[in-house]
Structure 1
Amino acid sequence: MPRYQVLRVVLLLCVVVVFAASTLISYQRHVETAQLLTVTQKGGGWAASELAFELLRFTHMLETVGAGRGTADELALRFDLLWSRIEVLQEGSETSEVREVPGAVALLDELQATLTLIEPSVLSLKPGEAAVADPLVDRLRPFEARVRAFNVDSYNGPEALERIRRVFELNWLVSVSITGLVLSGTLLILMLIRESSRSRHQSLHDELTGLPNRKFINQQLKSAARDASRNGTLLGVHVIDLNNFKEINDTLGHSYGDQLLQQVAQRLCGSIGPNDTVARLGGDEFLVIQERITQADDCTRLSKTLCGRIGHEMVLSGSRVYPSASLGVSIYPVDADDVSQVQINADLAMYRAKRDGGVSYRRFEPEMNDSLQRANTLARELKTAIQGDELSLHYQPVVAFDSGKIVSVEALLRWHNPQYGYVSPVEVVAIAEQYGLALELNEWVIKQACLQYQYWVSLGLETVCVAVNISPSMYVLHDLAASLTRLLRETGMPPERLIVEVTEDTTMRDIESSPDTLHNLKTLGVQIALDDFGTGYSSLNHLKRLPVDKLKIDRSFIQDLNITPKDPRIIRSIVNLAESLDLQVIAEGIEFVQNVDDLIAEGCLLGQGYLFSKAVDSERIVEMLSAQGQGIPLFQLGADERIVQRI
């Protein structure tokens, strides 16, 4: 994290701490103030005033009963209430501060002692006995002034004034803390607003180039389309993809790639009009929105300008490079009345430009959409086909040259679509990868292959290993080991009878994690084959780190053996490499007997191809395995130099 961001975070945390501390202090001060006021007003002060009132009521009741106008019960009630006021003041924490008034304790003790002495007379007093009541009244009269003074002192005396002073001090502190609370809260809000604005800008702009990103451009496209519809103008969408950008990153380094992207962004911004917008969609892909145009030729001219400007020489840290780009353009509302579809059309045109040579621009044409419609339809129906088991697996045998026996079979996907007919496995896998169906498709294939193996076992056949191919997305994006663990458990498939085939290029997509991924598979007990070997770019060091069991030589090298003069050196190198790593070698695409002779001469003893058998359904494999179990050789070299299939 950059230093300025660290400082900003620390400052924000400090503000939050001040905010919290101010809040806590304010709360504590308010609580203390409330408690003090409660003690002063509702506790001691109230009790002192009630004592004065009850003393007056009691003496008045004595006089009333002595005159014959009251009852003994009323006098007893007033006497009990007076006693209770004295007890409240003598005990309890709420009246402790009132007892600190000078003379308070002595007064309460004397009054209590007097009440104790007169209690028998009070309780035995009968209405009309003025001779008994008057002396009692006279005995209590001196206390009235003292109790009244005590009551006044409890509110206005030095101790009461000290409590009031403390209340004002606490209120002042509360005001200070509230001020701090307001200031810190205001600062916090301002910082949050600033951070929110900064975060919003970062969320809508590319950090490297400063251009609007995909999220921003999606909003801008909708707004621009509304303006074009309202004004009766056209809107051009240009999608630009740099050519050979990966090679620049790989050969010169990512810092050079970053410089290239920054310079391309500058050139694009310098080539557009004041109403246009440049955005970076991600990676090496850019987009230009061309607004307020009146004819399609305006888009064509801008496309030509953009391609030309990008193609000029660039100097990246002293190295000269000559970038190029493929550009596709589509126009709203000419090509589509939905701006999202216009962007898709521009993408299609860009890919067509790249296929045409990669240094050109193309305007969208309606037939380009046919491939998109096919892909969308197949993707939608592929999901249904997976869920409804409408796909099927065929199996191609792998044969040992010396014995002619099948040692394993490779499961190959087959799909006959109701609308498009037979769909090649390559296209099926590509659609699954593009539309997020790779996990479902791979798991379906693995599960069906495992169940098929279990079916062969139930027939008592001489079983062989079953190989399944793993697509790049399944390998890189999903937890392949977890899926295999679950599927092996569900089907009861012996792990050692399952071969997982991964292409060499797939393992190179994530060089650092590939060894770990394959090691996780090895812990399950499955075998691992490196498919299409020789067509990728893996190094010997990378290969040594991969826990594979088999190498499958790509069919292109076998086809090279059919060319005169033939050159078996690559096959010889692969076989020698495999031997040094203790790996089995399997040759793919064998079509002629001479291929077998050449492979045996180079030390390769296993292979598959049309010479032995094309991929066949499960019933045909059952026939082959049944014959093999009876000791009938399936494949052997005949005298006429052909592979003879016995069944």
Structure 2
Amino acid sequence: MNAKFLHLTSSPRSEHSAVRQLSKFLLPVDEDTTCMEVLRYFLSDAKLYALPVVDKNNIPVGLIDRHVFVEYFTRQYVPEIHGKKPVLNFLKEGLAVTAATAPIIIDEATCIDDVAQMIIGAGMQHMVTGFIVTGDGEYLGVANGHDLLNEITLRKQADLYFLAHFDHLTGLPNRMLFGDRLMQACRDALRNNTLVGLMFVDVDRFKQVNDSLGHGFGDMLLCSISERLKSCARESDTVARLGGDEFAILMDNLKETDDPVVMAQRIVDSMQEPLQISGHSLLITVSIGIAIYPTDDTDVTALLTKADTAMYEAKSSGRNGYRIYAPGLSMYNSAQMSLDTELRSAVRNNEFVLHYQPKVSLNNGQVIGVEALIRWQHPTRGLLSPVHFIPLAEENGVIVEIGNWVLRQACIQHCQWNKAGLPSIHVAVNVSALQFRKMGFIETVKSVFLETGIDPRYIEIELTESTLMQNAAGVLETLNELKAIGVRLSIDDFGTGYSNLNYLKQFPIDCLKIDQSFIRDIDTTPVNESIVRAIVALANSMSMQTIAEGTESQSELDVVKRCLCDVAQGYHYAKPLAPDDFSKWLNSTQKFALPDV
């Protein structure tokens, strides 16, 4: 067997290789080369730790450990006995230790983490002697522990840098790196007499999507939005994720203050194209705030605050748009923080009230139930509708506490109406996704029923489509438990979500509430009538009742009847009424001699 000894020192082979190719030092040998010649080669270079042996086909045969080899042949009696033994016979006869005759051989494509595990598993002596690297089975070189540790260290340092400066989900620069780049861009703008555009981008109603469809879906949504933002930005711009659903865009070296406005409009327009996520086609909007350096401020921290303020102004103005910072804009963020604090104490201070909107049977004109709708009797701002505080309650989690209060108060009110001689009608309460998925929800419902003494069959729980379609198996179990208690179940805003009909037919749903967007102008919009007819047919096929929500005019009511809806609810009959006002209204209609259903 022809063989040669090779020693290789570090030199990069490829950025994509997990190990390094090493430049070669050769000691040509043949079948007559003796162990003493190899020993002299070891002794001549103290830097050599091991020598690999390869055959004439460049296939690794063994790896001679310097420590074992030198120690073995420097004993006093060894030269007399083995001094002239050929090195190949030495290997064949197994006079070397196992570590020398059975080296670790690793393909060059092996990832660095796997290499480290193999070395550790085989014994730490290989950190010194090294391991043989091959490519397509042929010898490439020897990598030692130093190379391995250096490579691991470099990669860990790169990982730490990434974690410190980039968002792990989207791969975008994070708040820290964005702040550094913004600071540098402002310095450059000051020297070059240019402008810097700063944009804050917030995803509208992201909390609702996250709670309804799950955090995994929310993560995919954020990644899709980040790609959409990058596609709108210039190559030189920095798109960053600041945290949660908040993004920022840095535009440097600008000549005109209109450039960020053009970018903002481009982003808003791009969001008109639905995002395709995990089989869902989702239409998302964003709110954008813009501030310009040095026009709006020369202090970077103040500039950030002003961009944030402009973004909240865009949100409060209806979302799906942008606002440019202007002097005099209210510090909406501060007001939001104040509202958050007040909202957390509103339940304890008994500041919420319920109003009730009637539901009327289209078969006989009788009132068959009401929907409980919350209002906030704010100490200084007056009576606030849900649009002013429910989104915030969903963001900060207070919605669970509010939802439990609504259920309890609706039950108490029903019992009070019964004692006053009013008929037993259904009272519907809305349950948020967060409240529905909260551990112990069923126990809370049972506790409220036991506490108030209400008959559960008069309570109707309304859930949105998106709430039901997330984790359908778990949802079905919860719905069945609610039905076992005796409550009615309905799907609110039906037609605006993403119902899976296969799941829908399995759910023990009693009623579909057709979203008011389909009822509005149904008398002049044929497509709305077609949609309502389709929903009614679907409900009938599954033995569900239908409610036309938001019926406001006689002409709309006429079409709703023609579509064979069962129940109507809306301003045509009555707006949401305080409890005493509802009692008066119900008595005045003379339509309350209802059977218990």
Tell me the TM-score normalised to structure 1 length: 0.53
Q: Please state how far the C-alpha of 1:499 moved relative to its aligned partner.
A: 0.9
Deviations along 1:434-493, one digit per CA (max 9) or x if unpaired, are: 444322222221222123234345556542221111235545677754653554455444
Which sits farther off after the overlay, 584-593 or 277-286?
277-286
Instruction: Supply the RMSD in Å over aligned alpha carbons.
Output: 5.5
Measure, in 1, the Cα distance between the counterparts of 2:477 and 2:328: 45
Measure, in 1, the Cα distance between the counterparts of 2:558 and 2:522: 11
Correspondence 1:507-526 to 2 at 5 A: 507=468, 515=476, 518-519=479-480, 521-526=482-487
Change (3 A) 1:635 1:611: farther
Q: Please state how far the C-alpha of 1:352 moved relative to its aligned partner.
A: 8.8
One-letter code aligned to 2:368: V
Residue matched to 2:309: 345
Q: Secondary structure at the match of 1:198?
A: helix
Which sits farther off after the overlay, 199-208 or 403-412?
199-208
Change (3 A) 1:310 1:484: closer
Tell me which of 159, 171, 174 is aligned to 1:213: 174
One-letter code aligned to 2:311: D
Correspondence 1:420-569 to 2 at 5 A: 420-457=381-418, 462-475=423-436, 480-481=441-442, 483-504=444-465, 506-507=467-468, 515=476, 518-519=479-480, 521-538=482-499, 540-563=501-524, 568-569=529-530
Tell me which of 355, 358, 373 is aligned to 1:412: 373
Residue matched to 1:645: none
Measure, in 2, the Cα distance between the counterparts of 1:446 and 1:504: 20
Residue matched to 2:89: none
Q: Secondary structure at the match of 1:560?
A: coil
Measure, in 1, the Cα distance between the counterparts of 2:407 and 2:229: 45
Tell me which of 544, 549, 552 is aligned to 1:588: 549
Q: Secondary structure at the match of 1:387?
A: coil
Contact 1:237/1:342, CA 8 A, preserved across alignment: no
Change (3 A) 1:567 1:242: closer
Measure, in 2, the Cα distance between the counterparts of 1:564 and 1:260: 33
Q: Secondary structure at the match of 2:347?
A: helix
Measure, in 2, the Cα distance between the counterparts of 1:553 and 1:592: 16
Correspondence 1:365-384 to 2 at 5 A: 365-366=326-327, 368-369=329-330, 372=333, 374-384=335-345
- Structure having the higher Rg: 1
Residue matched to 1:396: 357
| Structure 2 unaligned regions, length at least 5 | 1-16, 19-108, 127-143, 210-218, 271-284
Residue matched to 2:235: 270
Q: Secondary structure at the match of 2:344?
A: helix
Contact 1:16/1:188, CA 8 A, preserved across alignment: no
Q: Secondary structure at the match of 1:407?
A: strand
Measure, in 2, the Cα distance between the counterparts of 1:500 and 1:262: 39
Q: Please state how far the C-alpha of 1:613 moved relative to its aligned partner.
A: 3.3
Q: Secondary structure at the match of 1:271?
A: coil
Q: Please state how far the C-alpha of 1:550 moved relative to its aligned partner.
A: 0.5
Measure, in 2, the Cα distance between the counterparts of 1:422 and 1:406: 27
Q: Please state how far the C-alpha of 1:389 moved relative to its aligned partner.
A: 0.9
Change (3 A) 1:355 1:604: closer
Measure, in 2, the Cα distance between the counterparts of 1:563 and 1:482: 47
Measure, in 2, the Cα distance between the counterparts of 1:527 and 1:512: 19
Change (3 A) 1:485 1:297: farther
Aligned length: 445
- Identity between Structure 1 and Structure 2 (%): 33
Contact 2:194/2:255, CA 8 A, preserved across alignment: no
One-letter code aligned to 1:438: I
Measure, in 2, the Cα distance between the counterparts of 1:496 and 1:546: 17
Q: Please state how far the C-alpha of 1:425 moved relative to its aligned partner.
A: 1.9
Residue matched to 1:54: none
Residue matched to 1:288: 249
Q: Secondary structure at the match of 1:467?
A: strand
Tell me the TM-score normalised to structure 2 length: 0.57
Tell me which of 555, 561, 564 is aligned to 1:603: 564
Q: Which has the higher strand share?
A: 2
Deviations along 1:110-147, one digit per CA (max 9) or x if unpaired, are: xxxxxxxxxxxxxxxxxxxxxxxxxxxxxxxxxxxxxx
Contact 2:430/2:461, CA 8 A, preserved across alignment: yes
Q: Which has the higher helix share?
A: 1
One-letter code aligned to 2:339: L
Measure, in 2, the Cα distance between the counterparts of 1:398 and 1:311: 39
Contact 1:348/1:364, CA 8 A, preserved across alignment: no
One-letter code aligned to 1:217: F
Change (3 A) 1:602 1:263: closer
Measure, in 2, the Cα distance between the counterparts of 1:459 and 1:626: 12
Q: Please state how far the C-alpha of 1:515 moved relative to its aligned partner.
A: 4.7
Change (3 A) 1:303 1:240: farther
Q: Please state how far the C-alpha of 1:496 moved relative to its aligned partner.
A: 2.8
Measure, in 2, the Cα distance between the counterparts of 1:383 and 1:556: 32
Contact 1:19/1:184, CA 8 A, preserved across alignment: no
Residue matched to 1:237: 198
Contact 2:377/2:383, CA 8 A, preserved across alignment: yes
Contact 1:214/1:280, CA 8 A, preserved across alignment: yes
